[in-house]
Amino acid sequence: MAKRSVDLTSKEWRDLVFKGKNQEFGAYQLRKDSAKRHNMAALYTLIGLVVVGLLVFGYSKYADYRDEQARLALAEQAEKMSQIAMEQAQEEEAQEEPEQQKYEQPPQEVKEEVLATVQETQIAIVKKEELKNEVRDVETRQEDNTARGVVNQEGSDDADRMKAVKEQVVVKAPEPTPEPEKKPAPEQIFTAVEQQAQFPGGQGALMKFLSSNIRYPESAQQNDIQGRVIVKFVVERDGSVSQAQVVKGVDRALDQEALRVVRKMPRWQPGKNNGVAVRSWFTLPVTFRLQNQ
């Protein structure tokens, strides 16, 4: 006789088992209601699985939302720190630059040198009591090398020198001294620039780079250490990063990790003054936060 499968939950099997027996006994009722209980158990199990799945999905969405808010807060803090650093740099430069005083050289007065002369008496017939000037004979005048004129005047006795001086002396107005043109030193590092240096892709790309490359130090995790490390570095004219240093640290392990990530960054878009790329400082806060906090 061929074997066939038997449904132990079927009504036929239940009636066969309890044939000729007291069907009002509790075992018969339990066997009768077993299918309903099994269906309810399967339904409750399915509902429980759906609820658990929804909870897991909701928690993952909440975690993503929390991480996004943390990245936005970090980006806002970085922008504020950069703005504060720029304002402080502008105040320092305004205090350090002395006011240039223009000095105008007063014109030099050249005193004209005059030729010394002796009044020469004109020959005229006058009365003796009206004679005022001394009459000198011809021999005395030839021995004297003094120039002759109609009046007495003090000055140089060299007539040839006076002639040469008058031909050579030319009084010129002093030329104004041109102010030297200010040119930035080739190796100067600017604290504030007209166009600030920028990470390729903008602030959002910078936050994504930091979150993807930062590895939380194990020693800091074990000791429950977290906080914000402020790093200062130079963006060179070619966009490379140099002279990275910690301005405000939290822990040695966190400080070293922040410096490692900053030195690993790709080339930036350099800062510019008058459209020319220059070396400039940039301040970046790096936040370390444990997930269970």
Q: Tell me what the mean pLDDT of segment 34-40 comes to.
A: 76
Residue listed under structure tokens 């429950």: 224
Give the C-alpha separation, 49 to 56, whole Å. Answer: 11
CA geometry: angle 213, 218, 223, nearest 5 deg: 130
Q: Is residue 72 assigned to a domain?
A: no
Give the model confidence (pLDDT) of 187-233 as tens digits: 789 999 999 999 999 999 999 999 899 999 999 888 999 999 999 99
Contact in structure between 234 and 271 (CB atoms under 8 Å): no
The number of distinct structural domains making up the chain is 1
194 in a structural domain? no
pTM: 0.39
Q: Is residue 138 part of a domain?
A: yes
pLDDT of residue 112: 60
Domain assignment present for 183: no
What's 64's DSSP letter? H
Domain housing 154: 117-168
In which band, very low, low, confident or very high, does the pLDDT at 81 lie, cut at 50, 70 and 90? confident
Non-local CB neighbours of 288 within 8 Å, separated by 6+ positions? 214, 216, 220, 225, 226, 227, 228, 229, 250, 254, 257, 258
Q: Is residue 291 part of a domain?
A: no
Mean pLDDT of 82-109: 64
Residue 226 CB coordination number (10 Å): 16
Extract the runs of DSSP E, i.e. beta strands, from the chain.
117-119, 147-149, 189-190, 227-235, 241-248, 272-273, 276-277, 279-288
Mean pLDDT of 95-118: 56
